[in-house]
Chain A
């Protein structure tokens, strides 16, 4: 699986590792050399698969040299890792025995949540249990006002009592979240210092998320505390395992992918594991943006269809983050890539409901038993539907390494067809049922794509769909059709795309501070300058307050990035503001330039269709993103000198609609840049299959991407 690839003068060998539910993916880059492969994951001890895979990398590396003839044994080595340890510990509720310290009288905030139930019409509805049970929540008699004024200070004897109680409770981790700590963190600092004697990780709310809304902030800091011991232990073991297995002088370090699309040191990730909850899917989005950028495409929708779910993310030249994500009913208000997930994937199960509608998912056959065609299950899935329609072109999965049981798939789909026949007036054939399963699954995925695009004011006609993940290639073009997306890009190695993504990530540290500054529009809009405004509360000058705030965050960022190994020359600091109209509750993020007010009004108009420049506005938070710019492998281009007409390897009989049709099948590994492919066609490769229906044109570009565009005819 060697692959040509040019790097800028990098630090040596760089290895991307992405742990998934079924496979752990690897990409290693050294000079012009590159290797990518999958090994089975070891969910009980994820580090094991990593060490096995790395052995394989080193075997391959032995013969490599870079442009100057340097051998691999003489260079430094760095690993970037996308991990699911935090996610799984949270989903399976296998975190630490955690205590929560809060303002007295508010011990139940994490249990009450937002007082709503997750499902309106379900009398058996349940809410997720809080991560900290009542007897491990401790109140402290203290209070800070909305303005940051101290109303009651915790006494020394009370803090002593708290420390004793926590010792007695034998907790493994502590979270501290006091009301209005973002406005004045003095009391949280005081407690952090006092609790350090416990010798367990202490997570402090104003450090993890210095923003208003007590439930969401407390939830973030509690998740962090709950995960800190386990993730810290995993990363420590992995780091030690790596250092032990390999030459210490050469191993420069381990970085971890964050949910926000940047990476951080293993040490930081261990202390702030809440930042790694979406570590896995983030890699794919980062890679999608980068690959598109190389191909000179700015605006994309990343589309990652896996076995049980599909992740979609809209990126305008860069990956976007959100502060409103949830995992299993628990809010994570820290910035994470804005990835929308729907329960539709290759393993989603089709059935007919009581009212006679065909439904697909969210129940999935998963990896075990898997789709009927994997040989164990009996229920019809999307993969089975694709198989009976001949859309795998007789090739099986993983380039034929995994054979599929067509008879079993046909049996499952036939049973569904019988149910559909009973529900409608006419008999339904096997192929009709299979096409139906695919149409409904596509409708579910279409809704996700619509939600991130049209519902947020973006016209899909201006976007390119970047499709990766195992199951996406068979559905991408149909979805693009439905949404009028004119172009699809299927990158090289779509199966190991997230591993490439973690390698392409920068080191990113996010900082924020809630400031709640009101801005008088009559002054601001006319002059367009930050430093002329006045606030309603007191006469402090917002321009200088913002500047002071940003400088403080920048000092912190510089210190933290230096600790991660980035000098000022390799740093980028980006300022932004969270703004809203005074009285609103949801913010828009705009650049912190001099004309921030105008930027806000136009952002509001773009997002919601209206704005009112006369209305007073408000800066809720200042935000700083500190970026340590990493060396990135460059994707090699081959200049496309001439158009090559593709020659099919064979033909296969495929149902695109009601009747089977002979369709040309191509092996992607044999397609050189510049190749043009006449639709309809099926392109097979290791880990993915792409269907190009009539009306579209496909070509291989200089980066070996498959680019599929709507026909001009």
Chain B
């Protein structure tokens, strides 16, 4: 009776319902992911989650295959399925259990990204899980040697507390012992506690919604369409690959250094397109390095996922199917598939961007009308931590700073925007100064920093932070030595820069990757890179 339209249709148009119900289930599953995201954002405590939205929420079918993910952070896309797989493999879940993990070498990406996974059970339907739901949030601190857990390191042990897949909630009860151990190892304990509660609450929201769907449509149909969604995305990807000219496309680019030595770090890729499939081979990339810019395989997969997803116009369900036609080869022990105990904090945020740059550069010869010049190619991860004298509490501030987008074959790049693997918001100045002992002195577009060309690269940003108390300051950034490339004769974007200004006016240049102790009154100025230009004819002045 309630299902008038659908049930009456299904009596006679079984085969035909596919295309209609496919769309309906796509809406249903993605709204579950979106709803979890809304709940997480609105109940979280750290600015990094609530203001900057550095999180993702996703839904998985009974086999742990991704069927929907909120449009939050591309870098989480390919990597969340690995977390769920690790949770399923290492940690059998009973109804009401929640698994927590952040170990990059067991389903994680870098330590601040903490992933929670739970099952959706319905004893009336099956003894096995019907779905899995998961969310991941970047915590502003996860312990380790520098506040913000994004500083210099040569081993993962210096980067924070490492959590393999374990149960933090058992049959609906929070494991207080484990939780205390966890909180004792991080800075800003109260904030962390609130954020974890928000993450657990969001899982609950997802679980309830999926059970409703099962109640309404029956598990069999819900599960069938979960499978159809995966196949549908794979079909879209195959059709798209068929349109790309067959061939072998090579490219390489470098990270400036690993923060420990001055050696540039090579990333190389060969993309072979053949019919409806592609082979993406990173053989020849540099061995893993001493500093914290190693990427685990999950990140490399995410970057490939992102780039190929961008080739398809319009909406595509964020499902496991997108990867099906792609074969990814990332040799173990290299910068794109590091082994323990390499430090990895920057792999997620810096190396991921360079992998994208390399992939796009290769594809620029295959689909030249679509591919932009290099964007800023870094997230400019700034972390500041210490003691807030105003409230007598510890604080840990984390922010990524936008830069220039690469020029497109038919348009300028956008200025002051996050590109590719991140889309996190800035912290409003009026929220930041209220929450932390800092003052923002300047927040401007870095005019003229985009690469020249027929179409100009987008400009970077200048952000100047004054410390109102002594603090530990870390920057993890790149494109300070090797600029974002231009395409088709366009010029490269301007390099990024950082400097420290003392109250007496003396200025010190800082490298791309550093952790320093700074004093009250010091000002940190971050200038982010511009995007590369596209096309040979020089530009006249930009309209603004």
Instruction: Report A349 CB to chain B, min CB distance, Å.
Output: 14
B182 contacts partner chain A, Cβ-Cβ < 8 Å: no
Which A residues are CB-close (under 8 A) to B212? 454
Stretch in B15-23, B161-169, B481-489 with 4+ CB within 8 Å of A: B15-23
A145 contacts partner chain B, Cβ-Cβ < 8 Å: yes
Q: Are B434 and A658 in contact (CB under 8 A)?
A: no
Q: Are A584 and B45 in contact (CB under 8 A)?
A: yes
Contacts A114-B425, A482-B5 given: A424-B431 contact, CB under 8 Å? Answer: no
Q: Are B418 and A115 in contact (CB under 8 A)?
A: yes
Q: Are A116 and B194 in contact (CB under 8 A)?
A: no
B531 contacts partner chain A, Cβ-Cβ < 8 Å: no
Q: Are A356 and B2 in contact (CB under 8 A)?
A: no
Which B residues are CB-close (under 8 A) to A106? 429, 442-444
Contacts A111-B445, A116-B423 given: A481-B310 contact, CB under 8 Å? Answer: no
Q: Are A215 and B428 in contact (CB under 8 A)?
A: yes
Which B residues are CB-close (under 8 A) to A710? 1
Which B residues are CB-close (under 8 A) to A446? 27
Q: Are B2 and A481 in contact (CB under 8 A)?
A: yes
Q: Are B425 and A116 in contact (CB under 8 A)?
A: yes
Q: Are A122 and B310 in contact (CB under 8 A)?
A: yes
Which A residues are CB-close (under 8 A) to B19? 352, 356-358, 420, 423-424, 436
Contact of A478 among B4, B39, B416 (CB under 8 A): B4
Q: Are B2 and A424 in contact (CB under 8 A)?
A: no
CB proximity to A under 8 Å, residues B1-48 = 1-6, 8-9, 11-13, 15-16, 18-20, 22-24, 26-27, 31, 34-35, 38-39, 41-47
Which A residues are CB-close (under 8 A) to B204? 609
CA distance A610 to B202 in the complex (A): 10
Nearest to B434 among chain A residues (CB) is: A146
B544 contacts partner chain A, Cβ-Cβ < 8 Å: yes
B414 contacts partner chain A, Cβ-Cβ < 8 Å: yes
A668 contacts partner chain B, Cβ-Cβ < 8 Å: no
What 1/0 mask marks residues of chain A from 115 to 154 whose CB sits below 8 Å from any chain B CB? 1110011111111000001110000000001100000000
Q: Are B194 and A436 in contact (CB under 8 A)?
A: no
Q: Are B24 and A443 in contact (CB under 8 A)?
A: yes
Using C-beta atoms within 8 Å of the partner chain, give the interface range for chain A. 35 or more
Which A residues are CB-close (under 8 A) to B431? 212-213, 585
A244 contacts partner chain B, Cβ-Cβ < 8 Å: no
Q: Are B50 and A584 in contact (CB under 8 A)?
A: yes
Which A residues are CB-close (under 8 A) to B457? none
CA distance A56 to B418 in the complex (A): 56
Q: Are B402 and A123 in contact (CB under 8 A)?
A: no
Q: Are A179 and B190 in contact (CB under 8 A)?
A: no
Instruction: Report B119 CB to chain A, min CB distance, Å.
Output: 18
Instruction: Report B190 CB to chain A, min CB distance, Å.
Output: 7
Instruction: Report B27 CB to chain A, min CB distance, Å.
Output: 5
Nearest to A135 among chain B residues (CB) is: B544
Which B residues are CB-close (under 8 A) to A424? 15-16, 18-19
CB proximity to B under 8 Å, residues A47-72 = none
CA distance A122 to B417 in the complex (A): 14
Instruction: Report B382 CB to chain A, min CB distance, Å.
Output: 13
Nearest to B441 among chain A residues (CB) is: A105
CA distance A114 to B443 in the complex (A): 12
CA distance A114 to B401 in the complex (A): 10
Beyond A120-B74, A426-B15, A455-B34, 14 additional contacts (C-beta under 8 Å) are: A105-B442, A112-B426, A116-B417, A214-B429, A354-B239, A357-B22, A420-B19, A428-B16, A436-B16, A446-B27, A482-B3, A585-B51, A609-B205, A657-B9
29 contacts between A and B (CB under 8 A): A105-B444, A114-B425, A116-B418, A124-B410, A124-B411, A146-B430, A146-B434, A213-B430, A215-B428, A355-B235, A355-B316, A356-B22, A357-B22, A357-B232, A358-B20, A424-B15, A425-B15, A436-B16, A439-B5, A440-B24, A450-B31, A455-B34, A478-B5, A481-B1, A482-B5, A581-B45, A583-B190, A584-B50, A607-B42
